[in-house]
Amino acid sequence: MDAQGLDWLLVPLHQLVSWGAAGAMVFGGVVPYIPQYRDIRRTQNAEGFSTYVCLVLLVANILRILFWFGRHFESPLLWQSIVMILAMLVMLKLCTEVRVANELNVKRRLFADKDEEIKVAPRRSYLDFDPHHFWHWSSFADYVQCVLAFTGVAGYVTYLSIDSALFVETLGFLAVLTEAMLGVPQLYRNQRHQSTEGMSIKMVLMWTSGDTFKTAYFLLNGAPLQFSVCGLLQVLVDLAILAQAYIFSRHPPKPAPHTAHPTSAKAL
């Protein structure tokens, strides 16, 4: 009787916890990027953040949405992908604007002591198909067009092959495998420069806590196996990045001779 008498309290409480967990899944993924976004806006320097992180998340979440059409999974995971795509586009817009503005400022300084007109750098577009400038274009519109083109092609292939169970499962595996590689561009960038300067430690700590929560959510809610594997790989990469931050702070590289700091350099 006591247990039945508490149903009026336990049932709404369980529902409230479920809603809270679902809300955390939908919006929790974008929270780690808020400190990095604020740092970039404050310093007007996006060099420390690898925009290839945005590329990885855009591809992974587009593929995850397409996977949903072949094999429905929980709605919060679907909405998480939509929110993440929008957040990565916002990050790309800021990084592109900051990088282009800094490139122009460098040119102004170079021509400050010369009676010459400032030459505008050649516009880099994804339609140039130049691998050296891939994902390092001059306009945010190029990123949007590239994302739309990828979505259109992937969506068309999915439409033609949606009845194939093998294709659907492969699509889901590619989606989570791509997402599992989220931190790899940042990991590589840090190792290449032997420094984590410009990278928000708060962002990585939130990655770690969020990925741990997400992996537990997948396991407890019986999500497809691909999602659990993705979460475990992400946690391992997050820990590796935190280890880099600790090691590089303890053993910083020797300062190089002072030169002009080209903020247009790729983060990866």
Output the pLDDT for position 256. Answer: 47
Is residue 67 a part of any domain in this protein?
A: yes
Is residue 131 a part of any domain in this protein?
A: no
Is residue 129 a part of any domain in this protein?
A: no
pLDDT above 70 as % of the chain = 80
pLDDT-based confidence at residue 248 (cuts at 50, 70, 90) = confident
Our measurement of the distance from residue 140's CA atom to the centroid of its chain's CA atoms, rounded to an integer in Å, reads: 16
Q: How far is CA 81 from CA 20, 66, 78, in A?
A: 18, 11, 5
Is residue 241 a part of any domain in this protein?
A: yes
Q: How many domains does the chain have?
A: 1
Is residue 160 a part of any domain in this protein?
A: yes
Q: Comparing C-alpha atoms, which of 248, 257, 258 is closest to residue 196?
A: 248
Q: How far apart are CA 259 and CA 51, in angstroms?
A: 24
Output the pLDDT for position 265. Answer: 36
Q: How far apart are CA 240 and CA 28, in angstroms?
A: 21
Is residue 211 a part of any domain in this protein?
A: yes
Could you give the angle at the alpha carbon of 175 between the alpha carbons of 50 and 18, nearest 5°? 100
Is residue 268 a part of any domain in this protein?
A: no
Average pLDDT over residues 167-179: 87
- In this structure, what are the phi and psi dihedrals at residue 251, rounded to the nearest 5 degrees? -130, 70
Domain that holds residue 45: 15-109+136-250
pLDDT-based confidence at residue 258 (cuts at 50, 70, 90) = very low
Is residue 240 a part of any domain in this protein?
A: yes
Output the pLDDT for position 111. Answer: 52
Output the pLDDT for position 1. Answer: 46
